[in-house]
A and B are shown apart, each in its own frame.
Chain A
C-alpha cells in the first residue's frame, strides 16, 4: 500500500514538472558582452561594399536560409543613441537595412568612398562656406514604397545634431542647415569646413525614415529592433540572446538580396563558435584574431573560404600615458621604443596568417594613403640606444638591472583587457623584452568596461595595450592626440586623448586634417603629423589586428573582407545555390 502511495506521489510530482517544462516552449534572452577592442573613433559614415553589376540580382531570394555565427549582439538598435555603438550590431543589422550616402570600395590598393545607390551621382561640393548638394536616386524608397527624400536627411541631421544621448554628433554639429531644393535634391550647408563629410548620412547611423519617426520617440521605436528598411534586407526578428533574423527587402531598389533568410546565431563562447563552424552548424564566422583562431585555420578547415586581411581599420598599439611618469619624458618613451623588437612580436602573434611586420604609423592600414607608413620604422630593438637615451635623461641602472632616477625605478604598470588571450600573451613578450632593456613592467589587467569606461579616460594607466577601431575612412587623430581633447572638465571629460599627448606643433596639423577638404593637402598634413608623433614617440604602434572572415564553400557569391562593413558586407550576394 505504502509503495503505491509513494509511487503515486512521485508520478504526480513528475507530471507537474513535465507540464511546467512543456509550458515554457520558447527560449532566449541575455545580453551581449563588451567588445575587447572598444574605443571607436571619429564620425559616422561608411557602409556596404560595391553593389552594381551582378546580373542575377534582380530577383529577390531563392538563395536559401543562411545560418551564420555572431559573437555579440548589440545592446540596442537605435544606432544614434549611446546604447548602440556595437560593431556587431552595425555589421548584422545597421549596414544591412539602413540606406546611406556612400559605400566603401577598394580602388587599387586603397579603400575609398563611392556614392551608393541612394545617390544619383557624386554630390557637388563648393567651399566657403562648404556646401554639399546631394542628388538622390529617384528610385530610392523605403520598404513601404515611400520615397527616400531630403526630409529624411533633415530628420537625421536634427536627431543627431540636436538630440540627447547621441553616440557621436561629430560633423553633424558643424552643419548649419539642410534644405530640400526639390524632392531629390538636398543642400547641406556647413558652418565650418568639415573634411569628413562623406562619412555623414551613412555609416554608423544611416539615414532615418522621417515619415515613420517624425514626432515619435525614436529611441522607443528602434531600440528593440524595427521593421522598416532602406537596404537589401529587413529585420524579421530579434530574439534577444539567441538570434537575429533578416529577410530580403522586396522593395529595395538596388541589387536585391539573394538569401531567403539570414539567421545570425549568437554564440558567446568562441571555442564553441569554432566547433559550430567546423561542424557546419553555422556557415560563416567572423572571429577575433586570437591565437587559437589562427591555430584552427592552420589546422585545416575543409571547404572554407577564408579571407584574412591586414588592411584593416584597426590599430593595436602600446599606448603611453604622456602625462604620467615615467612616460612624461620624451627620452624614456623613445628609449622604450628601442627596447622592443616589434616585428618579432607581430610575427609571433600573427605569423601563422602571414602578418609579420609591425605597423609604423598611428593611422590604421586603411588610411595608408594619408599616412607616413614608415614614421616609426626607425624604432628597432637597439639596447645601446636605450642606454644612451636613458643615461642622457639622468637614469642609471640599479643592482636589479632596472633603470632608476632620483630613487624612482622604471617600474611601469601595464594594462590591457582581461580575458583577451592574445593581448595577455603579447604583454608577456613585451614584459620579457622590456626587462632585458631595464624596464620593469607589472601586468594589471582590467575588464574591458572598466578600462575603457573609467581608467583610460581618467588617465589611470601608464602603459596600455588595446586597439583603436575606425568605422569610416576619416583620420581621427585629432580626436586622439590634439591637446584640446585631453579629458578635462572643459570638455565634460569626453575628450578621447587618453594618452594626454600635448605637443604644440602637432595640434595645428591635426586640426588642419579635420578641416581640409582637399585630399592632397590633407594627406600632407597628416603625414607631417605622423612624423612629429613618431619623433615624440607619443605611443608605440604595434599591429593591424588582422580581420579574419571564415565562410563555408557551401555559400556561393563574392566573399570578401571589408574593413568597415566586415565579411558580411556583401551578404546580399550570398546564396546556397
Chain B
C-alpha cells in the first residue's frame, strides 16, 4: 500500500511540474503585470517595476527562480500588492474550505438520501420528480440560480417575514469581522452553500442512484433475497453500504476540483476565497499568486485522487492496488 502511494505521488510530480511551467509561461507571455504603469506620470515607474521583479529576464529563468525559491519554502510576493503569496493563499484557502466543507457535507447527505430512495423506488413518481430536479440543477447556470436564491430567499423572504434585513445574508460570511461560529455565520452560509450544493448534488445523486441500482441487481443481493432475508434488511444492511463506495471516490475527486472552482459562488456572495483570488490574479498577470494557487489546488487534486483510489481499495476488498 505504502509503496503504491509513493509511486503514485512520484508519478504525479511530472504533471505538477509540467502544469506549473506551462501556466507560468502562458501567464508571463500573455499578461504584463507592469502594464498598469505604462501610462503613469512618472515615466521611470514602468522600467523600475520591471527591473524590481526581473520581468525582462527570459521566462525559463524567471521560472527557475520561482522554482528555486519554492523549494526553499519561499512562495514569493504578489506583483500587484506586494503582499506575501503565502498569506494571501492561506487566508483565501480558509474561506473556501468553509464553503467546500458545508457544501460537500450537504451534497453528500442529499445525494445519498435521494439516490437511495430513487433506486429502491425506481420509476416511482418520486424518482421522476427527483431526476427532473437534478436535470434542472444541471441546466440552470449557477449564477442565475444564485441570484434567484438571493432574490427569493434573501430579499423577498425577509420582506414577507417583516424582517429588518434579509432572511439569509448574502454578503460575505460574517456581518462584522469576527470569525466565530454563530447564528450570524449560519445565516450567511445558507445561500452560498445552497448555490454550491445545487451545482454538485445533481450529478452525485444520479451517480448514487446508478450505483445503488447496480448493487441491488448484484448476485449476492439476489441470493440474500432468495434466502429469505427481508427486503428492508437487504437494502440497508448490504446493498446500501456497498453502494456508497463509488460515490465516496467520486466525491473525493470532485471536492478537490472545488478548491479552485468556486469563482461564481464567491463572486456572487462577496466571499474572498481561492476562486476569486485566482481569477483576479490571472487577469493582472500576478504570476506568483497564480503559481502558489496552482501548487495548492494541484496538490489537492493529486491528493484527493489518491485518497479516492485508496478509499476504493479500503472500502471494496475486491479491488487491489498495484
Contacts and interface: CB of A to CB of B under 8 A. Distances in A.
Q: Do any CB atoms of chain A lie under 8 A from CB atoms of chain B in the complex?
A: yes
Interface of A: 2-3, 5-6, 9-10, 13, 17-18, 20-31, 33, 65, 67, 69, 75-76, 82-83, 164-170, 223-224, 237, 239-243, 245, 263, 265-269, 271-272, 275-276, 278-282, 447, 449-450, 452-454, 457, 491-494, 496
Contacts of B92: 28-30, 241
A6 B94 contact: no
Contact of A281 (B48, B166, B267): B166
A269 B267 contact: yes
B166 A454 contact: no
A29 B272 contact: yes
A265 B172 contact: yes
A449 B80 CA distance: 13
A67 B175 contact: yes
Contacts of B37: 82
Interface-centre pick from B36, B173, B268, B270 (highest chain A CB count, 10 A)? B270
Contacts of A282: 171
Contacts of B151: 275
Given A17-B104, A165-B48, 14 more contacts: A20-B101, A21-B98, A21-B101, A27-B174, A164-B42, A164-B45, A167-B40, A223-B82, A240-B91, A241-B92, A241-B276, A242-B177, A275-B170, A491-B43
Contacts of A243: 172, 177
Contacts of A2: 317
Contacts of B102: 21
B54 interface: no
Given A29-B88, A242-B272, A493-B43, A279 B172 contact: no
A10 B311 CA distance: 9
Interface in B27-62: 35-45, 48
Given A30-B277, A279-B154, A21 B97 contact: yes
B40 A82 contact: yes
Nearest to A169: B41
Contact of A280 (B98, B158, B174, B307): B158
B171 A265 contact: yes
Given A240-B272, A281-B166, A453-B35, A272 B147 contact: yes
Interface string B129-171: 0000000000000000001001100110011000011100111
B269 interface: yes
A82 B42 contact: yes
B45 to A, nearest CB: 5
Interface in B280-300: 280, 283-284
Interface in B253-279: 267-273, 276-277
Contacts of A272: 147, 150, 170-171, 267-270
Interface-centre pick from A266, A275, A281, A449 (highest chain B CB count, 10 A)? A281
B272 A450 contact: no
Given A25-B179, A165-B48, A457 B38 contact: yes
A241 B270 CA distance: 8
A476 to B, nearest CB: 13
18 contacts: A13-B311, A20-B101, A24-B95, A24-B97, A27-B179, A29-B272, A65-B176, A82-B36, A82-B40, A224-B83, A242-B177, A245-B176, A269-B270, A275-B154, A281-B165, A281-B166, A454-B38, A493-B38
B315 interface: yes
B172 A275 contact: no
B28 to A, nearest CB: 16
Contacts of B315: 6, 9
Contacts of A33: 280, 283
Contact of B91 (A26, A168, A491): A26
A22 B314 CA distance: 27
Contacts of B48: 164-165
B287 to A, nearest CB: 15
A26 B283 CA distance: 25
Contacts of A30: 92, 272-273, 276-277, 280
Contacts of B2: none
Contacts of B42: 82, 164-166, 169, 494
A162 to B, nearest CB: 11
Contact of B170 (A3, A276, A492): A276
Contact of B314 (A6, A167, A237): A6
A24 B44 CA distance: 42
A29 B272 CA distance: 5
Given A9-B315, A281-B169, A454-B38, A29 B277 contact: yes
Nearest to B275: A30
Contacts of A493: 38-39, 43
A169 B93 CA distance: 40
B223 interface: no
Contacts of A26: 91, 94-95, 179
Nearest to A22: B181
Nearest to A173: B41
Contact of B180 (A25, A165, A280, A449): A25
A504 to B, nearest CB: 25
A278 B276 CA distance: 25
Contacts of A168: 41
Nearest to B272: A241
B8 interface: no
B241 interface: yes
A455 B233 CA distance: 71
Contact of B165 (A17, A28, A165, A279): A279
B292 to A, nearest CB: 12
A27 B181 CA distance: 12
A76 B272 CA distance: 17
A313 B61 CA distance: 47
B217 interface: no
B276 A167 contact: no
Nearest to B37: A82
Interface in B221-276: 237, 241, 244, 248, 267-273, 276
Contacts of A265: 171-172, 270
Contacts of B177: 237, 239, 242-243, 245
Contacts of B272: 27-30, 240-242, 266
Nearest to B82: A223
A262 B144 CA distance: 31
Contacts of B154: 275, 279, 281
Contacts of B179: 25-27
* 3 shortest interchain CB distances as A-B pairs: A24-B94, A492-B43, A241-B272
A18 B40 CA distance: 48
Contacts of A22: 181
B72 interface: no
A17 B248 CA distance: 14
Nearest to B155: A279
Interface-centre pick from A23, A279, A281 (highest chain B CB count, 10 A)? A279
A453 B38 contact: yes
A275 B159 CA distance: 12
B95 A453 contact: no
A491 B37 CA distance: 15
Contacts of A165: 40, 42, 45, 48
A453 B98 contact: no
Nearest to B274: A29
Contacts of B174: 27
A166 B166 CA distance: 44
Contacts of A453: 35-36, 38-39
A93 B155 CA distance: 29
Nearest to B278: A30
A24 B93 contact: yes
Contact of B147 (A3, A83, A275): A275
